Amino acid sequence: MIKTYKFSWKGHSLLLGKRTAIMGILNVTPDSFSDGGRFLKCDNAVIHGEKLAEQGADIIDIGGESTRPFSDMVTAEDEIQRVVPVIEKLAKRISVPISIDTRKAGVAECAIEAGASIINDISSLRHDPDMAGVAAKHNVPVVLMHMHGTPKTMQLLPKYDNLIEEIKEFFENTIDYAEKNGISRSKIIVDPGIGFGKTVEHNLLILSRLDEFTCLDVPIMTGPSRKMFIRKILNDNAAENIKPDHDIVKTGTQAAIAAAVLHGAHIVRVHDVADTYSTLKIIDAIKNL
């Protein structure tokens, strides 16, 4: 039996379970690994956000800081300048909720005031001690992600004794911390962090054993979209790099998404919403037999 979760908040509702939800990625950055610079201009970003919603995105996730491997942190001021104008305009043009992808409480606060209504924190409330308070104050859903180290260090020989059990224990502790700081469990989503301090084998193991996180009794999100592990698997010529937006990477991403959903993902975070929408039509039909 498929476990369902209903989120209702700030005029939005989202039923997770039988139909997999799509979180569309909108990077308002100059240096994100896949589309850095494409949507740095506000108008371009707003147009793309509208397009993602039209293609079937249930959530638009806007981020103003690249967290690709070895990336440097940007200031809260820079993040705010990048994301707030986009959120203000886009929130007036689309009905689906907007998520702010940030680990800084000040950015989250400004984004929510501008129209965002979900916090997607790759640090799981650990980077900024004020983040839990912002989420609790506004009573918005929060995505808590597992990451080994920081974006700057996470891919420096990541090692685990028992990957799945360590991530599970991490989430148990993080969910407990969130609840003790006023965040309702009914507003929590977990993301095991594909590509964030993980080897190719780690990422594949997470996808194949994603259903083991269902014991946490919260929705599961995963984001394999265009990640390096897909490009490494598909690269038959090690002397050449496959670009993240190459067609074969997009196809490989859909395979990873299908695996994730069949193993328990409730939300998938993706660049290519239209392709994912079609994939999920088929995968959800199989899952719901």
Residues with active-site annotation: 227, 269
Q: How far apart are CA 255 and CA 124, in angstroms?
A: 27
The strand ranges marked E within the chain are 5-9, 12-16, 21-27, 59-63, 98-101, 118-121, 142-145, 188-191, 221-222, 267-270
Give 269's strand partners.
23
All residues at 6 or more sequence positions from 234 whose CB lies less than 8 Å from its CB, including other chains: 242, 248, 249, 252
Tell me the DSSP string of 79-130: HHHHHHHHHHHHHTT--S-EEEE-S-HHHHHHHHHHT--EEEETTTT-S-TT
CA neighbours closer than 13 Å in the CB half-sphere of residue 84: 15
Contact 248, 226 (CB under 8 A): no
Q: How far apart are CA 121 and CA 9, in angstroms?
A: 18
Give me the residue label for tokens 């909108």: 26
Give 100's strand partners.
62, 119
| Residues in the chain, overall count | 289
